[in-house]
Copies of this chain bind each other. A is one copy, B any other.
Amino acid sequence: MDDQSALDRIKAPELERVLGHTWRVLDDGFVRVVDYLGSDQAIVQAARVSYGAGTKAVHEDTGLIRYLMRHRHTTPFEMCEIKLHVRVPMDTWRQWIRHRTASTNEYSTRYSIAIDQAARTDPGAWRLQSSRNRQGSAGVLPAEVGGRFTEREAELQALARNVYEERLAAGIAREQARKDLPLSTYTEAYWKIDLYNLLHFLGLRMDEHAQAEIRAYATVIGNEIVRRWCPIAWQAFKDYHLNSLTLSALEIQVIRRLSGGDRDGARRLAEEFGWLATRDGKLRRNRERAEAWRKLRDLGIDPPWPE
């Protein structure tokens, strides 16, 4: 199933060119590629162990990788591995580290002095709480108002650092001195993950619902790094996951009615689903209805109910 002769390591030429390169993220963070294993070719190599030999033309490989991605045959994507060196505010790192399928070595503030840098916010970058989405943000404070918060941020960060350094100067243990560092303090880590799990991470963290800060990192990792590392898998991921659209069993039924010209029937379905409940004669807010509305519009279909 494979000839048994000497092998060379698989190389990803586009990625080789940027090994060690520093992509800046936020005001003082970064992402760098330290090392990697495999590339698009390794996905194909692994799949062929499973599915048997086949032609090796580039065209065929592309088709195979796209097929695997489309049908969620995930194990061949685990055959690629990448190791990044990142610098991230602890607040963002708290979200990042929730992904349990990676290996991590983080800079230790028990062993070493904490990095003397905290993420700062420009006057025009203070985001407003979204009124529709409990976890989101929408718009920004005017810069002239934001300026005050930027100053307060600097004041707080300076006090925090002073207190930290006073403690160290008094001989207080590093592990305890750090206890009141702000979450904005930068940390660094080596982070190693396989391609399948990295794409899962990117699917969640490049999403519009992800917090802006981690999205900034995810976007660099996806668009700058994975794109160079495994260009075929990356394109397939975008086509079949990142930019795909999933219709629920309920939405499928609605679209079927609409396709058949039965606009009233589609609306009756929505009523049965409880999407059109009213209060005081007005449509109540309903999340699922709003999501369905947006999907239909995305597909160029006119929804039979108001947004």
Q: A interface vs B, CB < 8 Å?
A: 1-2, 4-10, 16, 19-22, 30, 32-38, 42, 45-47, 49-52, 66-67, 70-72, 75-76, 78-79, 81, 83, 85, 89-91, 94, 97-98, 100-101, 103-108, 110-112, 118-119, 121, 126-130, 134-138, 141, 145, 149, 152-153, 155-157, 159-160, 163, 166-167, 170-176, 178-184, 188-190, 192, 194, 204, 209, 211, 238-240, 242-250, 252, 255-260, 287-288, 291, 298-301
Contact = CB atoms under 8 A, between A and B. Distances in A.
Contacts of A189: 49
A138 B176 CA distance: 12
Contact of A52 (B33, B111, B178, B288): B111
A274 to B, nearest CB: 9
Given A66-B288, A75-B104, A163-B152, A259 B300 contact: yes
Contact of A106 (B49, B119, B156): B49
A287 B112 CA distance: 19
A183 B181 contact: yes
A51 B10 contact: no
A121 B153 contact: no
A278 B87 CA distance: 41
Nearest to A242: B249
A111 B135 contact: yes
Contacts of A100: 100-101
A302 to B, nearest CB: 8
B173 A127 contact: yes
A130 B175 CA distance: 10
A36 to B, nearest CB: 7
A119 to B, nearest CB: 7
Contact of A149 (B75, B170, B242): B170
B49 A172 contact: no
Given A79-B190, A240-B248, A252-B299, A211 B107 contact: no
A202 to B, nearest CB: 14
Contacts of A245: 246-247, 252
